[in-house]
C-alpha cells in the first residue's frame, strides 16, 4: 500500500500560511557563510575561506514581524500579542489533523518563498522521532511533486555520525535534521558540544549555530523540560532564527498564530467521532472495595481521596471520601464488611505515591488508580476483551466491503500479563493473550460472523491476528521502560523500528495482524489511521490519560489504495473503558480545558475577531478586535453573558429557538457568530456506543414509483471543466492589485541603550530616543518579476505583464520588490480561485454513469438516538441530522402534506468539484393539491445571504447549482435550491 496525501486541505494550508506570513516582506535569503573558525578569536565570520554553504538570514525588523504577527492573529481570531517577547511561535492542532504534514510542508513553503534552507526538528521521544522520519520518507515524492523537484536531505541525528552535521552546515540544499531532546540536552556528556575530527575540528553545535536554523519543536510541552528547562536551554544553544512550536496540548502558548482545537476538529469532522462503550460494575458490593484516587499534602496535613462502598440512606453506594493514617474503614463506610480494614502510611512523594491498606492477613500498597477488592479483575477484563472483539468484527463486516482494514488497540497494565518467558527463556503467552484467543475463537463461531470466518483455520487465525509492541532489551526480552537513559532509549528504538517502518504493511488486508497490545510504548508518537477500537485494560486515572488514549485512533481511516475516507459513517472510534459514559465525557472535557485553555462556557472579547466580512469590491476581511469587543458588550447588555463572559441560560435558549438578537450591521455574519456561540455554550459531544443504531431503509418508499421518479432526475454523474473568461480574470486582477494595501519602504530602526558592567555581568537598558528612518535603496538588485510571479500564479508572462502595467503600481515594485511580489501573487491567486467556480461548466457523463438506487440497501447507515428523528416519508426509517436547522427541516417535511417522499442524501452521494466532493443535503418530491409534481435538491443553511457563507461553502453551493443545471434536461427536471426552511422551498411552486 502507498499512502496518498491531499495537498489542498484548507485547514492545513491555513496553518502553513499562518507561519509563512510571519516573514511577509522578507527578502529571498541567499547568504553565504564560512564554516571554519577564523584565526581571529575563533568566531564565525562571513567570507570565502573554505567550504561554503547556505544559512538562514532574517532581514525584517522586530516591528515588521510584530505587525505580521498581529495581522495573522486577527485573521485567525486569536488574541493579539502585546510585544514580540521571543522568537517562539505556536501552532495548535488537534491530534489526528496532520500536524506533522503541516510542519513538513511549512519547511518547503518557507524555502520557496524566502530561500530558508536549514531546519532542525526537535522531538521528545524516540517514538515521535521514528514517526517523523517515516513521514519524511513517505512524503518525499509528494513534496518533490508539489515543489518542482526541489532537492533536500533529511537525517536522524546520531552522535556517532557527526559528519552528517558538517554536511548539514555546508550543503546548499534544504537540510532537515531530526533529533530527540534527550540526545542534545546534556552538555557535559554530549558529543554535540565537543570538538570533533569528523566536523573538521569544530564543535557540532557551532556548525549548527552558524546556520541560524529554523527550529521546529514537536510536542514542546514534553521537550522544554519543565521547570528545569534543560530542553529550552538546548534549543537556545542552536541560536535559531525562530522556533516554531507544534502540539495539541501546549503548556506555554508563545505568540499563537494558528489554532485548530479539539472542538473545531470534531465539529468539522476532521477526526473520527468518539463513542464510549463503558463497562461499569453495578450492585456488586459483596466484597470490600477500595480504590485510591490521589494523595494530598495540604498545609502539612497528609491525606488521601479513596473510593469506597458506603452505606447510605438509599442503600450501598460507591462514593469518594477523604481518609487519613489510622482511619477505620468499617466506621467510615458503616459496613461490617470492612471489619479490621484500616488506613496505614500515606506517601505523597512525587513519583512514589501510595496508600498502605492494612487488611486481614497482611498489608496492601495501592498506587493512584489501583484497586483492592471488588469483582474478579480478570472476569472484568475478559468481558472487555470480548466486547472489543465484537465491536471490531461488527465494523469489519461493514468496512471490509469498502476496502478498509479495521485495527483494535489494547492498553495493558503490565507486559508480563500479555507475554513473558519461561525458565528456559522461551516466550510464553500471558493471561491477556490466552483470554484474547479464547474469546476470538468463540466469536468466530457466532452466527453473526460466519461470513468473516468461512473456511478459516480458527486456531491458526487466533494466534496470527494479535501481537504486542513493547520495548525490547538486548536479549530479546520485553520490558516496561521509560526513555530515561541511553540503555532504555536503545530498548525503545528496537520496538519502534518495527512499529514505525511497517505502518503501510499493517494497513493491508494481506497482513493478518489486527489486534495490538501495548504498555507505555504507544502512549505518544504512534498512531494508525485505521484504529477503530481502543480498549483500556488499565485504569484511566492520570492527567491527560483520556486524550492520550483516544489520540492513538483519531485519524481518519484509509482504504487499500491508501486514500483517506471521510465522513462519520466510516469513522467512529469506540473506546471500551471501565468508566461511565457521562463520567468519561466530563473527565475528557476537563483534560481538554486543562490542555488547550479552551474555556467552555466563556465568551471572550476577541472571540469574533476572525469572523469574515465582505468589504469593498467583495473582498473578504476579518471583523477585527474592536468590532468583536463591541459585539461582546452587546451580548452582556442583552443578558446573554454575564460580566465575566460566562454563558447564561438565556443565550442557550436563544440559540436553540433561533431568536438570537444581534446589533444592526451584523446580520450578514449571523451564521458565523451563532456557530461560535454554539461551540462556546455547548459541551463536547461524546457518543454512547449503546445508543448506536443501524438505520434501515423503508422499502415501501424506496421501491415506490414516486421515489424512482425523483431518483431518476438526480442520480446521474457529471464531469466538469473550468472555462476562464480571460478578460474578466485580468480585469479583476488589475482591480484587486489597485485596491491592495500600500507598499512600505524599507526602514532602519534606531535604539539607544545604556551598558552597565558590574559584578553581576553586563546589562543593557534601553533609553528614550528610538527613531525609525526610511531607506531609499537606490542600488537594490531587482529580481525577475515576471518569472517569479509566473511561478507563483501559473499565468502567462504576457498576462502578468498586462496586469502589472495596467495596475499602475510598478513604482511600488522598485520601492520594495519582495513585498510587492507577495502582494501581487496573493491578489492574483485570490482572483483565480474565485474565477475557477465562476467559470465552471458541468456535463452529464452519459446514461450509464449514475449512483445506483441499490446503494441505499448495500451501504449501511448508522446513527445515535439523540440525533435520530422517526420518519414516515423518507427512504430511511429515521433521519440522521447534524444540526438544529436539519432537524427542523426534517420535521417540516414530515408534517407538510405537499411532501410525498424525500431522503437525506447519504455520504456516498457526492458531486465532484475543484474543492473536493460535495454532498448535498436533501432530495424532495412535492405535489401541491394534486397538481404537477416538482422535484428538488435542497441544501439547508442557517442563512441564505451569499456573504454569510464562507468562500469554500459558497463555492461548493455554486458548483451544486451548476451540476444539477447540467442534469436539467427533459420534462420536469429537479431544481437545486438553498433554503433555511420548507417555506423557502415552497416559494418555488
Q: For the segment 156-203, what is each residue's pLDDT rounded down to a tens digit?
A: 988 888 888 888 988 889 999 999 888 887 765 567 777 776 666 678
Residue 839 in this model has a pLDDT that exceeds 70: yes
Residue in 520, 521, 515 with CA at minimum distance from that of residue 535: 515
The 10 Å Cβ neighbour count of residue 758 is 7
Residue in 270, 208, 259 with CA at minimum distance from that of residue 89: 259
pLDDT attached to residue 559: 92
H, E, C per residue of 625-651: HHHHHHHHHHHHHCCCECCCCEECHHH
Over residues 135-144, mean pLDDT: 93
Grid coordinates representing 16 are: 502553513
Residue 641 in this model has a pLDDT that exceeds 80: yes
Residue 801 in this model has a pLDDT that exceeds 90: yes
Q: Which residues pair with 297 in a beta bridge?
A: 302
Over residues 486-495, mean pLDDT: 52
Residue 41 in this model has a pLDDT that exceeds 90: no
Placement of cell 438553498 in the chain: 978
**What are the DSSP E strand ranges found in 427-476?**
427-429, 466-469, 471-472
pLDDT attached to residue 141: 93
254 pLDDT band, cuts 50/70/90, is confident
pLDDT attached to residue 458: 66
Give Cα separations from 440 to 433, 437, 446, 453, 462 (angstroms). Answer: 10, 5, 10, 11, 6
Residue 496 in this model has a pLDDT that exceeds 70: no
Q: Phi and psi at residue 598, in whole multiples of 5°?
A: -60, 130
Mean pLDDT of the chain: 81
Over residues 192-215, mean pLDDT: 81
Q: Give rounded-to-5 percent helix, strand, coil for the chain.
A: 40, 25, 40
Q: Which residues pair with 152 in a beta bridge?
A: 174
Residue 445 in this model has a pLDDT that exceeds 80: yes
Say whether 588 sits in a helix, a strand or coil.
helix
pLDDT attached to residue 685: 62
Question: How long a stretch of residues is the chain?
Answer: 989
Over residues 468-497, mean pLDDT: 53
Q: What is the CA radius of gyration of the chain?
A: 31
pLDDT attached to residue 761: 39
Residue 651: alpha-carbon gap to chain centroid: 29
152 pLDDT band, cuts 50/70/90, is very high
- Which of 195-199, 312-316, 736-740 is predicted with the least confidence, judged by mean pLDDT? 195-199
Residue in 385, 406, 411, 387 with CA at minimum distance from that of residue 549: 411
Pick the more confident residue, 769 or 63.
63
pLDDT attached to residue 21: 93
pLDDT attached to residue 323: 95
pLDDT attached to residue 490: 55
H, E, C per residue of 779-836: CCCCCCHHHHHHHHHCCCHHHHHHHHHHHCCHHHHHHCHHHHHHHHHHHHHHHHHHHH
pLDDT tens profile 841-854: 899 998 889 888 88
Over residues 282-311, mean pLDDT: 87
Over residues 825-848, mean pLDDT: 85
Placement of cell 528612518 in the chain: 773
Q: Phi and psi at residue 560, in whole multiples of 5°?
A: -70, -15
Residue 267 in this model has a pLDDT that exceeds 90: no
Of all residues in the chain, what percent carry a pLDDT higher than 70?
Answer: 81
Q: What is the DSSP string of 58-85?
A: ----HHHHHHHHHHHHHHTT-PPPSS--
Over residues 733-754, mean pLDDT: 73
Give Cα separations from 357 to 325, 340, 345 (angstroms). Answer: 10, 10, 8
Residue 733 in this model has a pLDDT that exceeds 90: yes
pLDDT attached to residue 598: 63
Residue 705 in this model has a pLDDT that exceeds 80: yes
How far apart are alpha carbons 117 and 101 in whole angstroms? 18
pLDDT attached to residue 751: 56
Q: Are the C-beta atoms of residues 607 and 632 closer than 8 Å to each other?
A: yes
252 pLDDT band, cuts 50/70/90, is confident
Q: Is the Cα dihedral 429, 435, 440, 446 positive or negative? A: positive
Q: What is the pTM of this model?
A: 0.69
Q: Are the C-beta atoms of residues 402 and 570 closer than 8 Å to each other?
A: yes
Pick the more confident residue, 51 or 233.
233
- Which of 329-333, 394-398, 881-885 is predicted with the least confidence, judged by mean pLDDT? 881-885
Residue 282 in this model has a pLDDT that exceeds 80: no
Q: Are the C-beta atoms of residues 512 and 465 closer than 8 Å to each other?
A: yes
Residue 532 in this model has a pLDDT that exceeds 90: yes
Residue 151: alpha-carbon gap to chain centroid: 29
Q: Are the C-beta atoms of residues 567 and 269 closer than 8 Å to each other?
A: yes
Q: Are the C-beta atoms of residues 255 and 81 closer than 8 Å to each other?
A: yes
pLDDT tens profile 324-377: 999 999 999 998 889 899 999 999 998 899 999 999 888 989 998 788 886 667
pLDDT attached to residue 49: 32
Q: What is the DSSP string of 327-362?
A: -BHHHHHT-GGGTT-EEEEEE--TT--EEEEEETTE
pLDDT attached to residue 44: 39
Amino acid at each position: 500500500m502507498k499512502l496518498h496525501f491531499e495537498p489542498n486541505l484548507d485547514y492545513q494550508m491555513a496553518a502553513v500560511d499562518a507561519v509563512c506570513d510571519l516573514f511577509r516582506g522578507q527578502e529571498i535569503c541567499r547568504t553565504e557563510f564560512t564554516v571554519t573558525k577564523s584565526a581571529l578569536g575563533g568566531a564565525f565570520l562571513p567570507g570565502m575561506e573554505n567550504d561554503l554553504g547556505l544559512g538562514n538570514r532574517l532581514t525584517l525588523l522586530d516591528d515588521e514581524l510584530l505587525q505580521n504577527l498581529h495581522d495573522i492573529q486577527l485573521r485567525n481570531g486569536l488574541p493579539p500579542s502585546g510585544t514580540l517577547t521571543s522568537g517562539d511561535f505556536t501552532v495548535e492542532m488537534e491530534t489526528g489533523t496532520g500536524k506533522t504534514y503541516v510542519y513538513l510542508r511549512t519547511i518547503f513553503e518557507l524555502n520557496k518563498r524566502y530561500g530558508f534552507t536549514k531546519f532542525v526538528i526537535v522531538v521528545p521521544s524516540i517514538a515521535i522521532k521514528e514517526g517523523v522520519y517515516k513521514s519524511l520518507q513517505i512524503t518525499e515524492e509528494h513534496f518533490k511533486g508539489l515543489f518542482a523537484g526541489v532537492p533536500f536531505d533529511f537525517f536522524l541525528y546520531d552522535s556517532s555520525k557527526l559528519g552528517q552535521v558538517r554536511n548539514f552546515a555546508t550543503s546548499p540544499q534544504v537540510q532537515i535534521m531530526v533529533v530527540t531532546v534527550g540526545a542534545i540536552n546534556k552538555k557535559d556528556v554530549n558529543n554535540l558540544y565537543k570538538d570533533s575530527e569528523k566536523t573538521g575540528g569544530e564543535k557540532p553545535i557551532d556548525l549548527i549555530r552558524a546556520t541560524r536554523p529554523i527550529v521546529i519543536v514537536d510536542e514542546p510541552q514534553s521537550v522544554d523540560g519543565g521547570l528545569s528547562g534543560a530542553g529550552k536551554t538546548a534549543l537556545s544553544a542552536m541560536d535559531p532564527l525562530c522556533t516554531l512550536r507544534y502540539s495539541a496540548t501546549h503548556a506555554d502558548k508563545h505568540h499563537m498564530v494558528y489554532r485548530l482545537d479539539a472542538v473545531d476538529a470534531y465539529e468539522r469532522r476532521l477526526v473520527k467521532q468518539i463513542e464510549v462503550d463503558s463497562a461499569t460494575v453495578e450492585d456488586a458490593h459483596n466484597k470490600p472495595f477500595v480504590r485510591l484516587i490521589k494523595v494530598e499534602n495540604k498545609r502539612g496535613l497528609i491525606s488521601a481521596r479513596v473510593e469506597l462502598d458506603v452505606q447510605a440512606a438509599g442503600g450501598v453506594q460507591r462514593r469518594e471520601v477523604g481518609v487519613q493514617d489510622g482511619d477505620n474503614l468499617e466506621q467510615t463506610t458503616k459496613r461490617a464488611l470492612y471489619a479490621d480494614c484500616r488506613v496505614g502510611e500515606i506517601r505523597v512523594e512525587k513519583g512514589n505515591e501510595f496508600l498502605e491498606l492494612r487488611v486481614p492477613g497482611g498489608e496492601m500498597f495501592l498506587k493512584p488508580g489501583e484497586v483492592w477488592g471488588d469483582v474478579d479483575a480478570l472476569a472484568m477484563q475478559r468481558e472487555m476483551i470480548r466486547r472489543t472483539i465484537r465491536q471490531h468484527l461488527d465494523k469489519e463486516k461493514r468496512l471490509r466491503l469498502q476496502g478498509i482494514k479495521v485495527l483494535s488497540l489494547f492498553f495493558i497494565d503490565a507486559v508480563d500479563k500479555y507475554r513473558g518467558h519461561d525458565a528456559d527463556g522461551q516466550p510464553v503467552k500471558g493471561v491477556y493473550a490466552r483470554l484474547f484467543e479464547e474469546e476470538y475463537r468463540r466469536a468466530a463461531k457466532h452466527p453473526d460472523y460466519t461470513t468473516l470466518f468461512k473456511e478459516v483455520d480458527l486456531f491458526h487465525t487466533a494466534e496470527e491476528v494479535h501481537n504486542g509492541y513493547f520495548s525490547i532489551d538486548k536479549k530479546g526480552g520485553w520490558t516496561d521502560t521509560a526513555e530515561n537513559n541511553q540503555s532504555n532509549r536503545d530498548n525503545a528504538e528496537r520496538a519502534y523500528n518495527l512499529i514505525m517502518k511497517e505502518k503501510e504493511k499493517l494497513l493491508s488486508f494481506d497482513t493478518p495482524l489486527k489486534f495490538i497490545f501495548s504498555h507505555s510504548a504507544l502512549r505518544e508518537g504512534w498512531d494508525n489511521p485505521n484504529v477503530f477500537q481502543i480498549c483500556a485494560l488499565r485504569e484511566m486515572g492520570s492527567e491527560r490519560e483520556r486524550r492520550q488514549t483516544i489520540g492513538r485512533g483519531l485519524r481518519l481511516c484509509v482504504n487499500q489504495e491508501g486514500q483517506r475516507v471521510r465522513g462519520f459513517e466510516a469513522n467512529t472510534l469506540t473506546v471500551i473503558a471501565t468508566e461511565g459514559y457521562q463520567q468519561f465525557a466530563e473527565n475528557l472535557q476537563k483534560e481538554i480545558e486543562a490542555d488547550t485553555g479552551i474555556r467552555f462556557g466563556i465568551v471572550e472579547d476577541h472571540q469574533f475577531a476572525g469572523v469574515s466580512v465582505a468589504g469593498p469590491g467583495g473582498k473578504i476581511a476579518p471583523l477585527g478586535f474592536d468590532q468583536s469587543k463591541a459585539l461582546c458588550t452587546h451580548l452582556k447588555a442583552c443578558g446573554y453573558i454575564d460580566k465575566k463572559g460566562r454563558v447564561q441560560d438565556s443565550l442557550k435558549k436563544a440559540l436553540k429557538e433561533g431568536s438570537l438578537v444581534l446589533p444592526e450591521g451584523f446580520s450578514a455574519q449571523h451564521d458565523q457568530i451563532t456557530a461560535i456561540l454554539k461551540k462556546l455554550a455547548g459541551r463536547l459531544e461524546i457518543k454512547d456506543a449503546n445508543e448506536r443504531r443501524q438505520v434501515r431503509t423503508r422499502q415501501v418508499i424506496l421501491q415506490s414509483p414516486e421515489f424512482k421518479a425523483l431518483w431518476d432526475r438526480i442520480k446521474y454523474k457529471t464531469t466538469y471543466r473550468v472555462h476562464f473568461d480571460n478578460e474578466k480574470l485580468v480585469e479583476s486582477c488589475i482591480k484587486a492589485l489597485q485596491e491592495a494595501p500600500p507598499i512600505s519602504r524599507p526602514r532602519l530602526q534606531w535604539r539607544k541603550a545604556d551598558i552597565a558592567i558590574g559584578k553581576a555581568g553586563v546589562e543593557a537598558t534601553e533609553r528614550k530616543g528610538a527613531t525609525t528612518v526610511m531607506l531609499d535603496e537606490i542600488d537594490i538588485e531587482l529580481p525577475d518579476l515576471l518569472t517569479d510571479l509566473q511561478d507563483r500564479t501559473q499565468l502567462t508572462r504576457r498576462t502578468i505583464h498586462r496586469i502589472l502595467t495596467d495596475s499602475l503600481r510598478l513604482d511600488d515594485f522598485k520601492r520594495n520588490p519582495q513585498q510587492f511580489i507577495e502582494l501581487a501573487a496573493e491578489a492574483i491567486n485570490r482572483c483565480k480561485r474565485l474565477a475557477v467556480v465562476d467559470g465552471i461548466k458541468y456535463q452529464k457523463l452519459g446514461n450509464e454513469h449514475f449512483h445506483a438506487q441499490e446503494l441505499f440497501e448495500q451501504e449501511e447507515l448508522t446513527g445515535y438516538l439523540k440525533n435520530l428523528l422517526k420518519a414516515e416519508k423518507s427512504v430511511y426509517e429515521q433521519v440522521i441530522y447534524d444540526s438544529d436547522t436539519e432537524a427542523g427541516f426534517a420535521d417540516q417535511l414530515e408534517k407538510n402534506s405537499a411532501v410525498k417522499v424525500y431522503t437525506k442524501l447519504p455520504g456516498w452521494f457526492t458531486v465532484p468539484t475543484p474543492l473536493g466532493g460535495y454532498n448535498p443535503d436533501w432530495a424532495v418530491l412535492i405535489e401541491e393539491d394534486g397538481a404537477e409534481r416538482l422535484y428538488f435538491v435542497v441544501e439547508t443553511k442557517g442563512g441564505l445571504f451569499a456573504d454569510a457563507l464562507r468562500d469554500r461553502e459558497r463555492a461548493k453551493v455554486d458548483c451544486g447549482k451548476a451540476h444539477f443545471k447540467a442534469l436539467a434536461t427533459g420534462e420536469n427536471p429537479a431544481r437545486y435550491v438553498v433554503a433555511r426552511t420548507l417555506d423557502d422551498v415552497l416559494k418555488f411552486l
